[in-house]
Every structure is written in C-alpha cells, then in structure tokens.
Chain A
Amino acid sequence: MKRFALTLTMIVAVLTLAGSAPTVQAQEVEIEGPLAGAPAVVGLRIYRALRFQVQLHAAMTLQDEYTRTVLPGGQLNFHLTDWLGIGVWGGYGLGLDTALTDQIVDKGQTNSVNVLSLPNRQLFAKQIGRIKFVVAPQLTFIPLRGKLGLFEKLFVDTDFYVFGGVGVVGLEERADVTAAKYDQCFEGGSSLPNSIQCFSQTATVRSTRVAIAPTFGAGLSLFLADFVAMTIEWRGLPFAWNTSGTDESGFSGGDFPDKAIDSKDYLPHFNHMMTLGFAFYFPTKPKISTVDLD
C-alpha cells in the first residue's frame, strides 16, 4: 500500500504541475498576415445547422450480467446551429442471454435458503430482468469538427459530439413476491420440493415498469456524403433494477433474505452501450461557410 500511495502521490503531483502550466490553449496555430483573425476553416461544409437528422442504428449493451440487449432503433434530431441539436433517441430491446445465464440454467442449485431467488434453475432465463425499450429526449452538442485521414489517402469529414438527456427505459422484471407469499410457500413446514413448486409459479410472472434515468455519452460522425454520415457512439444510462430476479436486499450476516422480491432488490447499475448507425440529413445539400477577410 505504501508503494501505491507513493505512486499515487507522484501522479497527483505531476498532474497538478501540468494543470498549473501557464496556458493550455488550443495548439499554436501560427496564422499571420491576411489570415490573421480569420476563422480556422474557410469553405466549411456546414453539415448540421438547420438540418434534420434521421438516423437508423443498432445499439448493444456492454458488461451485462445475465442478458445482453440489442436495441435496433432510430434517432430524430433538428440542429439549431452547427454545434447544437435537439432530438429523440430510441431503440427496441432484444435480449441475448449471457454465458453466465446459461451456466446458472445448467448448474444452479436450490436449497431452503435461496429457494425464493432460484426456485427452478431451468426457469432462470425467464426470471431475469430485460430492457424492452429506451426513449431519450436529448440535446446534442458538437464542439469539434474536423477531418481524418487514413494512410494519407482517404479523408473523411468528421465531427465529435456529446449528448445528454433523460432516458425513459421500459423494463420487464420478475413480478414482486411478497413476504406473505413467502410464508405461504413455507406454510406448515412445507418440504423443499413443495416450496420449490410453490415459488416456481412466481419465477415466470413478469411485471413491467418505466425507469427514468439520466443519459449521456459521446460519439463520432463520419460524413460519407453531403447527407449521409456513419456514427459510432457510447451511451451511459445508469439506473437501478433487478437484473437477476433474485432476492438481493439485505446482507448475509444480517437481514438477508428479506423474504420478498420488490423494489428493495433494485441494485444500481451503470448500464452502457455502443451504438453504430447511419444518419441522413435533410435538406440533402449542406451550406458552405464563407468569410469576409476585410
């Protein structure tokens, strides 16, 4: 730990020194003469200002525990300026179970302690939580605009954007199991097989709800034509939900299990995803920036 603390201290010191450097500005672009004071770029294709963006895309969630969600969908934006747009992002969720889910279906074990969480391992895939849709009104901010070159041959107009908004997430989760139901399944000192049968009836009962979450992210647009761009973006969508359909509330040494599946079992998850899409801009012809050097 001492070594770690020392290393951390040194890094903080270096970062502090770097942060206190006199000026960290944009690069020293030495523009003199008639170009002094001129915009950085002249004759710029203004891809976004006063144009509609219609996008088709597919998103895939990352670092999922039990099910991976593929979200085919679309986006509609109107760009007020070349650097600010407003719109809606959406996708419909299709679930792909992870290897962990398959392992639990094959090898999960049930006893009197976890019978509520895993009544029947073969039903586990039907009790896990799934994202059914995402709709996100959002603002898009485009601070950087440029181009990239591949092997000094292929050049593509590019912009970098960040966005933020409110995510409306449709969820399907295992339905609540009340403490009364729990007691009912164990009523009269019921044997484990009887309890399993009783709880198995609850494993496949589903409930739906809508979670409201902040959403934010960043992406790149590669303009393949005046009206077509390929986009790749990362999106964060943190909210709490019960991904496993299990009883998560409480601690092993304390009040676990709490004998119920309900909102107390929603655990915070930093849900995030990558999106690949194609955006179409209307009108199809972008304006070209001009400059008056006088």
Chain B
Amino acid sequence: MNLSFRHGVLTSRRARAVAPALGVFLALASVSGVAAQDMSFDVDEAESGTSPTSKEGGSKGKGKSGKKAGKAEAEAEAGGEAQAEGGMEMGASGGDLLSELTAEKTDDAATAEGGLAREKESIEKIYAVQRMYVLRNGRFELAPSLAQTFNDQYVSHPSLGAGLNYWITNVLAVGVNLLWYQGIESEQKLTFSIRRSTRLAVPITEYQLGAHLNFTYVPIYGKFEMFNDSIFQWDAYLIGGVGMLRTRPVAVIDPAVRTFDFQWRVAFNAGIGLRVFVTKWLSIFGELRDYLYMEKLENLEVSLSQRGEPSTWTDQNSKLTNNVTVSLGFSMFFPFTFSYSYPK
C-alpha cells in the first residue's frame, strides 16, 4: 500500500537528520543559546572542517562565507543575545536574519561558479522542509467564474459568478459569491418535446441571481509534475454556506393568465473544488456545488372560478430543489506578494 502516513516517513528522516543536529544544537545552546529555527548548513561546517570557533558561532546560515568565521562568531554571540532578548530576532550582521532567510532570492546565487564557492552556495539552498508555494493567510481572493447547472434537463442555468474570499488561515477562508443568471438562461427543447409528445407540462423555474456566504476549507493538497519537467501545486477544497437565491416559476400551465415575480429563497450550499496555482497570485479552479432551496412551483391545476387570483397560481407545497452547479474560473490573490514567516 502506497497510502502512507507522511508523519511516519518524516519521523524516520527527521530522526536521522535531527540526531546530529540535536547534538550540535545542544553544544551551541550551551554556549550561545542560538535558536533552533536555523536549518541551513554551511559547507565550511559540514565538509571543510570548520574551526571550533566557527561552530561555536553557530554559523547562522546567513549566506556569509566561512572565511568570516571570526566575524560570524561575533555575530552569533550578538544574535544569541538578541534572540534571548527579542524573541524572533536572530543573529544577523546588524540586520534581521529572518528577513534574509525568507527573502525570495539572493543575488549571489547567480554569480557563484565552480569550486568551493558553488558547493557552499548549493548546500545553502537545500532545506529540511520545503516551504509552501503559496501562503494565503491574510490575503484576499477575487474569483470570477462561469457556471452551469448540472442537473436540470429542462432549463439551462448558466451564470456569471464572482467570489471574494478572505483567508483567515492558510486553509480556511470566509467569503461571498454572487451569481447572475437572468438573461442568459434558456429553456431546453426537452420541455417542449414532452409537452408535444405526451401532453404533460413540466413546471420549470427561472433564476435571477444568487448571493451566498461561504466558508472554504482546504483539507487536500498536492502537486503534479508534467513530463518530469514542471511542477504544479494544486489543492482540493470543501466549500459550504448559506445565502439567498432569487427565482420565479415560468408559467407553462396557464401562461395566458399567469405571470410571476422573482422571490427570494433561502439556499444552503455545499461543494468541492479543485484549484491549480499558475503563479503565487493566480490560480485556475473548477468547482462542483449544490445549492439546496425550497422552490415554489407553478400550480398544475387551474381554478376555473379563481383563474385570475395570483394566490392560486403557485403550488401550496414547496419542493426541495437541488441546483447542482459546475463552475470554472480563475482567482487572483491580493496582495500579489507575501512574506514567509519562517525560513525554508
């Protein structure tokens, strides 16, 4: 079974990686109290037999050369003090190590060529845990989409949609979505065919708009590689909420007399979606969502004595209706950029 528990795998890997690191850490902690977040390794320590002085300095992974061991030592000590006093502040050369670690790119990466310099740089780019490709926490997501009803054979309900989400965490968002139907709906030929062939009328419904409050939760994520060359990050999400749907019956039983106005219906919704990130601020998504509401259909009976009475035009009983909708769209995250809170 390849259904594996990552925790178990990581635990064994971590055990191998953490054991020596823990020893080093304890040694460092006893000297300078440097924080454990520093996960990068310097070639001078790892492979070229760095001097004890350098080790004691903790080589904070700032991308500085081991040739500056003396300076690093001083920085480490300062950093250790800063850490102790300031929490997240780690020992950088007069700056913020965290900012350096979470910076998107380093200029010196491109300039390194061959020899020790390249080897050193290479190792600095390998981290124990790869950071997430996109952080959503605290960002807004604007998502225009096109939607189509999936389960109504009688009326096609395409719609234009727009969603706005605010991501409370990286996996949980609250938002609203609006759907506009009126003017782009169409009655299918099937309803006409049934009337013509069987003398039966199927009560049908027209939508105008929907406005819904949703919560989005992302329990599943993954990545795809394309031809072993490119990698795409994607996730699957659950979405659900409550809102209002504005609908009205289409008069098919007694269209000469009956006309209907749009009415608001309370609609609950639940669905699943798939999102593929194209960039750190742009994604493409597909979604399947069921909007459930109680519909008032046209009355199948015509009261000859009260034919013109609007109260007799609709069925007294409401019918639970599922409006299963497939949406395709793209979403943009604002602000476009974000900062990582932790090193890679």
Contact = CB atoms under 8 A, between A and B. Distances in A.
Contacts, number: 166
Interface string A10-31: 0100100010000011111110
A34 B219 CA distance: 33
A39 B197 CA distance: 61
A163 interface: no
B220 A149 contact: yes
B339 interface: no
Interface string B183-214: 11000011001101111101000000000000
Interface string A86-104: 0000000000000010011
Given A1-B183, A30-B105, A247 B231 contact: no
A224 interface: yes
Interface in B142-162: 144, 150-151, 153, 160
B50 interface: no
Contacts of B183: 1, 3-4
Contacts of B223: 146-147
Contacts of A33: 118, 121-123, 125-126
B219 A150 contact: yes
A231 interface: no
Given A149-B221, A223-B2, A244-B197, A63 B151 contact: yes
A187 interface: no
B293 interface: no
A110 interface: yes
Nearest to A5: B183
Interface string B100-112: 0000010001000
B2 A226 contact: yes
B232 interface: yes
A114 interface: yes
Interface stretch (A153-161, A165-173, A195-203): A153-161
Contacts of B279: 24, 27-28
Contacts of A104: 194, 198, 200
B225 interface: yes
Contacts of B197: 114, 117-118, 244, 246-248
A173 B171 CA distance: 51
B222 A158 contact: yes
A44 to B, nearest CB: 7
A147 B227 contact: no
Contacts of A147: 222-223
Contact of B224 (A25, A107, A144, A153): A144
B94 to A, nearest CB: 27
Contact of A148 (B5, B196, B222, B282): B222
A158 B225 CA distance: 10
A289 interface: yes
B183 to A, nearest CB: 5
Contact of A41 (B198, B202, B225): B225
A44 B223 CA distance: 13
B333 interface: no
Given A1-B183, A147-B223, A108 B228 contact: no
Interface of B: 1-7, 105, 109, 118, 121-123, 125-126, 133, 144, 150-151, 153, 160, 180, 183-184, 189-190, 193-194, 196-200, 202, 219-234, 236, 277-280, 282, 330
Given A27-B133, A30-B105, 17 more contacts: A3-B183, A27-B232, A32-B122, A40-B229, A41-B225, A109-B198, A117-B197, A144-B232, A146-B225, A147-B222, A154-B6, A155-B3, A224-B1, A244-B197, A246-B193, A247-B197, A248-B197
Interface of A: 1, 3-4, 7-8, 11, 14, 18, 24-30, 32-35, 39-41, 44-45, 62-65, 83, 100, 103-104, 107-111, 114, 117-118, 121, 124, 143-158, 160, 223-226, 244, 246-248, 252, 256, 267, 289
22 contacts: A4-B184, A14-B144, A28-B279, A32-B121, A40-B226, A41-B228, A63-B153, A65-B153, A110-B199, A124-B198, A143-B227, A147-B222, A147-B223, A148-B236, A149-B221, A151-B219, A154-B6, A155-B3, A156-B2, A226-B2, A246-B197, A289-B228
